Amino acid sequence: MNNTKAYAAVSATAPLAAATIARREPTPHDVQIEILFCGVCHSDLHTVRDEWSSVMPTVYPCVPGHEIVGRVTRVGSAVTSHKPGDMVGVGCLVDSDHICPSCQAHDEQFCPEATFAYNSPDKHQTAAVTYGGYSESIVVDERFVLRIPKNLDPAGVAPLLCAGITTYSPIRRWGDISGKKVGVVGLGGLGHMGVKFTKAFGAKVVVFTTSPGKKDDALHLGADEVIISTDARQMKQHAGTFDYILNTVSADHDINAYIQMLGLDGNITLVGIPEKPLPVAAFALLFGRRSLSGSLIGGIRETQEMLDFCGEKNITADVEIIPIQQVNEAYERLLKSDVKYRFSIDMASLKK
């Protein structure tokens, strides 16, 4: 076991603070990674504060972080796909059973035995639960370690491991959006990646936002048009015209207003998780034969495909780099949507 510096919360009400955790010695199939950057995802905050207690109660101490980019420092004797010095990434998934139908279909995120980067039972029993990327280093099974294209900036790559794949996967699965009218609801960490991907795939991209102040930002990110969703006139004008809408909002909102924007056989996919159930009007679904779906990150193969696509198109997240010492303040700013568009923690700060 190796002692490793990290930032941890010891209870739902405690701030994150410096801590020392144990990491396992790499097994023959493991890759040891020095973490360079870790993105700050809203899920980190939900978990640290035990806000998903009914579904996934938090075990403390909790070390969050699942948008991890780093450099390989050691590999186990059987590892063939990575070598020391490689730039690599780790996302939400760090293990699965490899035998269930979901794993066979390369959808490891739905494996009943999936191990997540943090707050997930640790099969190696180094601790009760896994510890995430707010840490100097991590040890991960080679099958869950992603290759990072050399041309991309590591700080901006980190959020691709969650925000990137979360938005890329549903867009790709919907089908060919080239030339289609596609909406992106919300312009935060997920939404700004949604704009970049839908644009890269050739859609006519329309951003829905409640904040008129975000209009220029949306256009700058590549949106063709911006609809202020509180403006009934604008909403009515676009009703029934969208082929597909990616809904990244996790605050409570009127989902029917967006369902009404869809044309015949249109689909709206949720990738955020609002706390309360969304009241869905059946009429809105029946008339237009519309559908409402959910999508959860993506499998490992699809995540690598997304990273390779980003390398090819030179896509990264827009980030504000912070030292780990500012992470509690960053959480408060996250709650006020005061970030463009993702915090990326420079892990060199942890060594200080």
> Of the two residues 232 and 286, which places its CB atom closer to its own copies in the complex?
286
Gap between the Cα atoms of 159 and 41, Å rounded: 8
Give the one residue of 10, 99, 251, 264 binding its own copies; rule: CB under 8 A: 264
Give the one residue of 277, 336, 351, 352 binding its own copies; rule: CB under 8 A: 277
- What are 204-212's contacts with CB under 8 Å, separation 24+? 204/179, 204/180, 206/181, 206/182, 206/238, 206/242, 207/183, 208/183, 208/184, 208/245, 208/258, 208/261, 211/187
Residues 32 to 91 in contact with its own copies, rule: CB under 8 A: 55
- Contact in structure between 345 and 37 (CB atoms under 8 Å): yes
Asked if 251 interacts with its own copies (CB under 8 A), we say no
- Sign of the Cα torsion 35, 36, 39, 45 reads positive
DSSP class of residue 350?
G
Dihedral of CA atoms 126, 23, 301, 347 in degrees, nearest 10, equals 140
Least gap, CB of 47 to its own copies (angstroms) = 14
Q: Determine the interface stretch with its own copies among 60-68, 73-81, 276-284, 308-316 (rule: CB under 8 A).
A: 276-284
Gap between the Cα atoms of 295 and 70, Å rounded: 27
Q: Determine the interface stretch with its own copies among 26-34, 182-190, 210-218, 263-271 (rule: CB under 8 A).
A: 263-271
> Of the two residues 137 and 295, which places its CB atom closer to its own copies in the complex?
295
Q: Determine the interface stretch with its own copies among 4-12, 64-72, 286-294, 312-320 (rule: CB under 8 A).
A: 286-294
Give the one residue of 96, 137, 260, 267 binding its own copies; rule: CB under 8 A: 267
Asked if 273 interacts with its own copies (CB under 8 A), we say yes
- Contact in structure between 214 and 187 (CB atoms under 8 Å): yes
Spell out, one character per residue from 291 to 330, where the chain touches its own copies: x when CB under 8 A holds, - when not. Answer: xxxxxx----------------------------------
> Of the two residues 10 and 281, which places its CB atom closer to its own copies in the complex?
281
Nearest Cα to Cα of residue 318 among 87, 39, 107: 39
Amino acid type, 172: R
Q: Point out which residues bind its own copies (CB under 8 A).
A: 55, 101-102, 105, 107, 110, 255-256, 264, 267, 270-274, 276-296
